[in-house]
Structure 1
């Protein structure tokens, strides 16, 4: 794949179930991730390839699990990633419109926005996933947390998210590693602390999920935690 070297300069605001990027855009290879994504151009329009179609506009919404690539380069943009377990995509678009291109207003809007009601068993499993550390988290342990069998847990996840337990755990490990790397930890140490086998495993996962190498994605972004 080609390496993308410019764009993605700015701040990343990291919350527990969403994050905001206030940055210039950089192009990416085609990729797929668990989060819903909304791109709000702060000047001009953004262009995105969704599957085989090209979309452009001041606001572009990308649903969870949708293959896509960022085409725009250097466009000032507010980018929102949010977990489908917490938010519907239509609600995210509404929140972005209400914020009127103001990232602080959007952050406050999302903080107060009602989260999706979850099956209590799914909520317990999600709470355990968000408490990940470098130790392995087996499907059996997660199922025990939710008082379910492994097959029941998988059906619950696939029914609610069209996503396997393994892929949700991987998403959370990526969040942990990216937060550590943005805090100044080396990519290798961040990968190991988040439970990846090594930095190469982490790099492959980042590229599949975001269409970029970790160094390209992170080197010009500053971390700003959200309450």
Structure 2
């Protein structure tokens, strides 16, 4: 007899400077092998998380996993009672420290390493239902795993450009606009951004637009409306992009957690 289908994912999207992610319950269709710009921290509790390195690697059970930037992988949270998937931007101090720790390879973590932080995070989400408490628990976990930041900071011109892009979520920005914010010529900035991040500015802008979609969905926007507001041609274009960067379409992840309800209420009052 085949196992019953997993409960459809219901959760929340959380985001602040340098870190974003999903926190929730349930699963659904398998996540296709994919890669993205951010370093990923996947956490499943009390058990059930599985991770597949590469496109054809062996599935491995773990309590949590760290995945380097641009590493192809897949995860399965269908058997988890609770899960959190965080994305740490590589230019941040924590991102650089994690990149140095990983050295390009996926790291699986045991329950003893993350149990205390996982319990705090789950309580912040399910019991306190507080965005501030969730953020604090997430950052405690990221700090604990990243340890001391490396001595070499990210280039401040790239950090200024990234902040410029973040502040204009949902707005169209050009290479010339971002280069000006970094006080560089477009050509010099183009090369510097690739050197620092390993990706073209165009890809990063697409990543930011995709994250903006989740914020809109949290506030109760329709998938089609969020796609257009974030600059995608239509919901099909959004779904293709999400499959490439997250391994699944946005329609699979229902923003129906306690933080989503609060976000929709605030949006309605505004």
Q: Which has the higher contact order (CA 8 A, sep 6+)?
A: 1
Please tell me whether the aligned partners of residues 19 and 81 of structure 1 are also in contact (alpha carbons under 8 angstroms): yes
Segments ≥4 residues shifted beyond 6 Å: none
Structure (1 or 2) with the larger CA radius of gyration: 2
Identify the match of residue 135 of structure 2 among 107, 117, 132.
107
Give 1:119 shift: 1.6
Uncovered stretches (5+) of structure 2, i.e. residues with no partner? 103-108, 125-132, 264-270
Give 1:115 shift: 7.7
Structural mapping, 1:1-227, within 5 Å: 6-24=7-25, 26=27, 27-51=30-54, 52-54=56-58, 55-75=60-80, 76-86=82-92, 87-88=94-95, 89=98, 90=101, 97=114, 100-101=117-118, 102-103=120-121, 104=124, 107-108=135-136, 110=139, 117-218=153-254, 220-221=256-257, 223=259
Q: Give the number of the structure whose residues are more often helix, by fraction.
A: 2
TM-score of the aligned structures, taking structure 1 as reference length:
0.82
Please tell me whether the aligned partners of residues 132 and 173 of structure 1 are also in contact (alpha carbons under 8 angstroms): no
Uncovered stretches (5+) of structure 1, i.e. residues with no partner? none
Please tell me whether the aligned partners of residues 179 and 223 of structure 1 are also in contact (alpha carbons under 8 angstroms): no
What is the root-mean-square deviation in Å for CA atoms of aligned residues?
3.1
TM-score of the aligned structures, taking structure 2 as reference length:
0.70
Give 1:98 shift: 8.5
Give 1:53 shift: 2.4
Give 1:184 shift: 0.3
CA–CA distance in structure 2, aligned partners of residues 39 and 193 of structure 1: 29
Count of residue correspondences: 221
